[in-house]
Amino acid sequence: MARFDSFLTELVEGIAGHIIFTVPETPYYYDASGAVYPSGKLGLYRDRTPEIAYPTVTISVYEAAQNADSLVAVQFKICSKDPREGDAIDADLRASFDHLYAKTLGTVKVAYAERTSGTLLPQDTQGRGVRTENYLFRVDWPNLNRPI
């Protein structure tokens, strides 16, 4: 039986929804089911980067530390043929998350988010430039031993 009720899944879906809401003039699109995305949309994907000619953003999340609250690392992998388009996507991500404070993304309470690093990577097989942008999210990640 497949399960889809994980904290990290909820966080990724909250992140995707926040990008779509924050930057409505860019046609960002996210579908957790894996269905084919409509043409003309800028795809947000989780943990996979499709080999297509169009720009994409891959969202990957993992726990970095857990203390009184949790630090979750979020990596955005931006792929685009035109570096100016990659710059615009980066600007959208910064507008959405850099110094985000006291916000609920979907069902996840985020105390604070900040950009930590970014780097250029080699081109992919579609000839797109690839870069990553990395953020840390301080979140309330409840568990049975430490409810929020």
Q: What is the CATH number of the domain that holds 58?
A: 3.30.2000.10
**Which domain does 128 fall in, by range?**
7-139
Mean pLDDT of the chain: 90
In total, how many domains does the chain have?
A: 1
Average pLDDT over residues 14-30: 96
pLDDT tens digits for range 93-127: 999 999 999 999 999 999 999 999 999 999 999 99
Confidence of residue 14 (pLDDT cuts 50, 70, 90): very high
Within a domain: 148: no
Confidence of residue 1 (pLDDT cuts 50, 70, 90): very low
- Buried b or exposed e, range 118-134, using 16+ CB within 10 angstroms: beeeeebebebbbbebe
Within a domain: 58: yes
pLDDT tens digits for range 58-77: 999 998 877 767 899 999 99
d(CA 65, CA 87): 30
Within a domain: 73: yes
Within a domain: 2: no
d(CA 95, CA 118): 15
Within a domain: 146: no
Name the pTM for this structure: 0.91
36, pLDDT greater than 60: yes
Confidence of residue 43 (pLDDT cuts 50, 70, 90): very high
Within a domain: 135: yes
Within a domain: 145: no
Average pLDDT over residues 85-92: 96
Element (H, E) at 88: helix 83-97
Within a domain: 144: no
Comparing 51 with 143, the larger pLDDT belongs to: 51
CA 116 to chain CA mean position, Å: 14
